[in-house]
Amino acid sequence: MTIKVLAFAGSPRRHGNSETLLDWVLASMAEDPDISIEKVPLTEANINICRGCNACETLNKCIQRDGMDIYHDKIIEADCILLSSPIYCMGIAALPKALIDRAQVFRSRKYVLKLPIVPPERKGKRLGAFLASAGQDWKYVFDAAVPSVKCFYHVIDIRDADISYLMINHVDEKGAIEKHPTAKADAMKLGKTMIAELKKRLAT
């Protein structure tokens, strides 16, 4: 049985600190032969911003036709969904915020139309992780990003307890994360832990 991992790289800067963090998690997951990984840089995903029209509350789908048509289905199919973002101006970057806002269709399905997001047999078996980097060394630099990330995972049926966070502050210039004392080891460990947990859950 293959475990499907969907990873959104949210930074507008390719191969920067938050994406490196994501790559480390994916590299440790890829050591397992039963894993299929799809990495999506949001710079290439063509996801428009939510128009706030609320049509999804009645239509159960979004009125916009763009990259989200593809990722909507992939989000449902994946066993593990990773999201990485740098912190810009004390919040999640605009590209991943657009993805999160477009998850409104899942929120309408789950809370308004009361329809399932994943089939019953897969419920409670999915995992999520948020990987973030920030230039500031303040401890509270991630505080505003987390509530939006939680919303994203909740509406796609990944419970609060099933979201992991690896957020590294005080890394700004490209490549700064390579010099961080624990980031790489923590990311590799996170990947291994998540795969072990997914295998356990999917075996039952």
For the segment 102-141, give every residue that binds other proteins (CB under 8 A): 103-104, 107, 138, 140-141
* Shortest Cβ 181–other proteins spacing (Å): 24
In this structure, the number of other CB atoms found within 10 A of the CB of residue 138 comes to 13
> By CB under 8 A, is residue 181 in contact with other proteins?
no
Q: Is 148 in the site for other proteins (CB under 8 A)?
A: yes
**Can you list the pairs that 54-61 forms with residues at least 24 positions away whose Cβ atoms lie under 8 Å?**
54/108, 56/104, 56/105, 56/108, 56/109, 57/108, 57/112, 57/113, 60/105, 60/108, 60/109, 60/113, 60/115, 61/105
Compute the least distance from the CB of residue 142 to other proteins, in Å: 9
Distance CA 104, CA 106 (A): 5
Q: Which residue has the tokens 């047999």?
A: 121
Task: Find the binding residues for other proteins in span 54-83 (CB under 8 A).
Answer: none
CA proximity to 47, closest of 20, 19, 75, 22: 75
Check residue 11 for interaction with other proteins (CB under 8 A).
Answer: yes
CB nearer to other proteins: give 78 or 145. 145
Cβ proximity to other proteins, 12 vs 30, nearer residue: 12
86 binds other proteins (CB under 8 A): yes
Q: Is 173 helix (H, G, I), strand (E, B) or coil?
A: coil
Note the residues at the interface with other proteins (CB under 8 A).
11-13, 16, 49-53, 86, 88-95, 97-98, 100-101, 103-104, 107, 138, 140-141, 143-145, 147-148, 150-152, 173
